[in-house]
Structure 1
Amino acid sequence: MRPNTDEIIEVERFCTKIIKELSKRLEEEGIATKVETHGSVARGTWISGDKDVDLFIILDPSLDGTYLHKTLDVVKGYLGTGWTESYAEHPYIRAKKEGFDVEFIPCFNFDPSRSIISSTDRTPLHTQYVNHNLKTVQRDEVRLLKQFMRGVGVYGAEVKIGGFSGYLCELLIIKFESFESTLKAASSWKHSEAINLIDDSNPSKPLKKFKDPLIVPDPVDPKRNVASAVSERSMWTFVAAARSFLKNPHEKYFYPEKVEADESSILPLFRENSRFIFICINDESVPVPDVLWGQLYKTERAISKFLSVKDFTVIRSGVWSDEVSQHILVFELAYDPISKTLLSMGPPVEMTKNSEKFLKAHIHSNLVTAGPWIEGCRWWVLLKREENRARSILEKEFKKKCPMLGAPRRFRTLLESNSRVLIDNEIVEYIKGRFGEFLYQFLKGRPCWLD
């Protein structure tokens, strides 16, 4: 996990070179700034093999917000081609350069007398805090924690993962001093666990401000929760994996075994007592990853809710995307088709007018298979379903641009015109590469570290 001497020299040379070249360009454009390396490279906590570099272009706080865009224009000119513009709270540039994945992030030099202009203004302060408080021997402890979190699938604060950021890992080691101690502490975490690096005398104080599953106030900006991106699933996955590792330490927690995901390993995992529905979407204009995954998860929740409203029992669901042109949503249903009839509840008998309307609507209806009858104090009737198969119900809804789904508008359009609904092993044509790996793990339904 620890980078070797050649790797360290390579990244230092690259950073020195690019900082010198970009600083010269910015100076020529008359932009008062300094370019610095931040993130794990600057804090000495990066993992061997990683080629990620975060370059921060720090502007004078006297400049206004328009200089963020002016600075990025200079970066684009410096790079020429091969860059993409991404967005968090503010835009930044991502590029592949000399084998490194580089993010060019403009921010403002933090002035304590003024409020933060952009959220990235804190990052240089994060570097100062970590470098001041993290002991040299603890940097390998951070690497262990990061790789462990990668192995169990909870490393990364991006929307896709909803997990632990590198900075949060560093703070946990500063607080608990070692990888093993961090796992021991995590083993007994509760909901809305508060970890206070600011005021040890009152560790529960942050609870009054935040309502997240995990609460770690930023020591350089206590109004912010460093762990706000950590989802319940990621938090409890980490807790469970920590407990499991402490009982039975194994390399698989850090480096999960790669499974050859193909037809021979995947098809036997389809179960006779449930049904898998796949929605395959082709997308020609994929947004940046954080926006994309936010839309995908919202679409997944909307379709799950729609299926539930239609009386299907959704056992679980998942999302996969290559982030380029193809997305696949999968839903495991307890049964499909459902019954051909639907029990419909009518009004209480004591409500005279409503009862008359209900009876008038159902006594001579061709959709009624039984009733109306009185059960307890209400009218009831048994109706025929127009459709009782998930695929036909979904396809019909997609053609209507999903007015009931509540999915993002862009995905409603994609579902209408660029989607296919497949059942069980009909998905076989898509079983290859990364999707095959995802599907194998989804069908298996058990984290690899539990094997």
Structure 2
Amino acid sequence: MYSMAEGSSWGEIRGRVLDAIVPKRAEMESVEGFARRVVEELDVGLAEAGVRGGAEVHGSVARGTWLAGDRDFDVFIVLDEGYGRGDLPAVLDVVKGILGEGWVEAYSEHPYLIADVDGFRVEFVPCFRVDPREGLVSATDRTPLHTGFVVDRLPVSARDEVRLLKRFMKGVGVYGAEVRVGGFSGYLCELLVIAVGSFEGVLEAASGWRRGEVVDPVGGSDHDGLRKRFGEPLIVPDPVDPGRNVASAVSETRFWEFSAAARAFLEGPRWEFFYPVEGDVDVGGVLARVRGHGVDLVFPVVGDGEGEVPDVLWGQLYKSERALVAALGEAGFGVVRSGVWSDEASRHVFVFELESAILPAFALRMGPPVRMVEGGRRFLEAHAGSEETVSGPWVEGDRWWVVVRRGERGAGAALGSFLVGGGRGVGGSRGIAERGSRGFRGLLGGGGEEVVTPDFAAYLNGFLRGRPGWLE
């Protein structure tokens, strides 16, 4: 059926990709040596401070599935029985003292630290040593259990299969469970390979997925029961916590994007699925494309906010984007597509592609059914003598109708009114509303050079292209 099975060049491509993503011996020794040093220093410092527990490396490094060149590290401070959530600030203070300077405190379910150490970006995450049969104290308690399961169930020979799957997902833009992406986590990749056996097997399966697909890495689950319980596009029960769907972060869009990309790859394997071509983006060239695009784009810009945990920030941005799309639609603007870009620090840009940024001068308004006496009376009082009425009201079918002059015809001005106070009035996120009220910079159409920074230009270039890189 597929060209891969017909002797294509996949064997050569596979070898080249593996050569690029499998860490060489020197890198492995460097990473393993760094891990030992970090754990030893933390263990000594924790013991001196009287903290019962120890440091452990988890994530892809511990499972042997990290990609060459990745510099992200997960170090867990695993606390012995007897500790509770209230002890975490004091434990983190000990870790801060060991690290010295250069750390940043972040928050998810509970606080953790991020630091750059010897060229590695390390997350120091506290958790509790638990017996899974007795339940978890916090969500992070699962991670050591995940490591144990993967190390036990994933053959050493299959680690490269996971690496291939991760690199493929990165290439087609579906890798990452963070809110910004809404895609597949590294642990989910590991479970898919455990369940199916190989990179090619995962793609074969994904090419035929249907919504509500169940992939069970241990077998024996009630698929219909899982579908009723979770109702998500992809369902992968967590082997260490069966009440959790490991694939819950995978959005509808990413689910189908991966399925489509898998099908396209099986029909014609190419290096570009793993490493899409990313040429230099010229800001002037992108602006020229905007002007000649043939569809109007507007860019409301929100900025000057304090740093935010990325998942929280992107949740706020996406909520505000949906609210603004709805408000534009209610105002009569046809929204073709929308998107949002952020530097995750001080500048956030919404992008709206519109059928037209200028509405007609007049609008047809539908009134209530004639049988609704009070509603009809209010409609007639509002429009019969109004200076904004162009024609009507009249009865057509069973309803009142009227043609009125539009008060606001331009999308830029309309968005400006929606974003008074940061968009809270149209259902935007409170966090973005607060940022908007402090630093809303106005609306720019075709020629907004000051909005289109090089990083935003790269995003906008992809937005204008519209199709994923693997379709090039």
TM bin (shorter chain): over 0.9
Give TM-score scaled by structure 2 length: 0.92
- How far off its partner does 1:13 sit? 1.1
**Pairing 1:2–2:17 present:** no
Picking from 294, 298, 316, the partner of 2:337 is 316
How far apart are 1:143 and its partner, in Å?
Answer: 0.4
Confirm whether residue 377 of structure 1 aligns to residue 391 of structure 2.
no
2:42 pairs with 1:61: no
Distance 1:365 1:406 in 2: 30
Q: Where do 1:302-313 residues align within 5 Å?
A: 302-313=323-334
SS of residue paired to 2:146: helix
Separation in 1 of the partners of 2:228 and 2:373? 51
Change (3 A) 1:197 1:400: closer
Instruction: In structure 1, list runs of 5 or more residues that go unmatched.
Output: none
* Residue type of the alignment partner of 2:404: L
CA distance 1:22–1:358, change in 2 (3 Å): same
Superposed, which structure 2 residues align to 1:252-331 within 5 Å? 252-270=272-290, 271=292, 273-331=294-352
1:334-413 equivalences under 5 Å are 334-399=355-420, 401-413=422-434
Partners of 1:273 and 1:334 within 8 A in 2: no
The residue type paired with residue 24 of structure 1 is: V
Larger mean Cα displacement after TM superposition, 83-92 or 379-388: 83-92
- Supply the AA of the counterpart residue of 2:149: Y
Query: Residue 147 of structure 2: which of 127, 146, 149 is its match?
Result: 127
CA shift, 1:113, in A, is: 4.6
Deviation of 1:236 (Å): 0.8
Residue of structure 1 equivalent to 2:39: 19
**Count of matched residue positions in the alignment of Structure 1 and Structure 2:** 451
Contact kept, 8 Å, 1:262 with 1:431, in 2: the verdict is: no
2:460 maps to: 439
Shift of 1:335: 1.1
Q: CA deviation at 1:428?
A: 2.8
Q: Tell me if the contact between 1:277 and 1:424 (Cα under 8 Å) persists in the aligned partners.
A: yes
The equivalent residue for 2:98 is 78
- The yes-or-no answer on 1:138 pairing with 2:158 is yes
412-421 vs 277-286, which deviates more? 412-421
Segments of structure 2 that go 5 or more residues without pairing to the other structure are 1-20
Q: Which amino acid aligns with 2:271?
A: E
Deviation for aligned residue 1:249: 0.4
3-state SS of paired residue (2:208)? coil
Give 1:272 deviation, angstroms.
5.2
Instruction: Determine what percentage of the aligned residue pairs are the same residue.
Output: 48
* Structure-1 separation of matches of 2:222 and 2:371: 58
Please state how far the C-alpha of 1:251 moved relative to its aligned partner. Answer: 0.8
Instruction: Go from structure 1 to structure 2 and tell me whether the alpha carbon gap of 1:420 and 1:208 turns closer, same or farther (over 3 Å shift).
Output: same
1:413-428 to structure 2, matched below 5 A, reads 413-428=434-449
Determine helix, strand or coil for the equivalent of 1:402. helix
Alpha-carbon distance, 1:196 to partner? 1.3
Higher mean C-alpha displacement, 200-209 vs 333-342: 200-209
Query: What letter matches 2:214 in structure 1?
Result: A
Cα deviation, residue 180, structure 1:
0.5
* SS of the residue 1:209 aligns to: helix
1:191 to 201, 205, 211: 211
After superposition, the CA RMSD in angstroms is 1.6
CA distance in structure 1 between the partners assigned to 2:228 and 2:126 by the alignment: 33
Q: Residues 310, 377 of structure 1: CA spacing in aligned structure 2 closer, same or farther, 3 A cutoff?
A: same
Shift of 1:410: 2.7
Alpha-carbon contact 2:305-2:439 (below 8 Å) kept: no
**Does the 8 Å contact 1:373/1:380 carry over to 2?**
yes
Q: CA deviation at 1:299?
A: 1.1
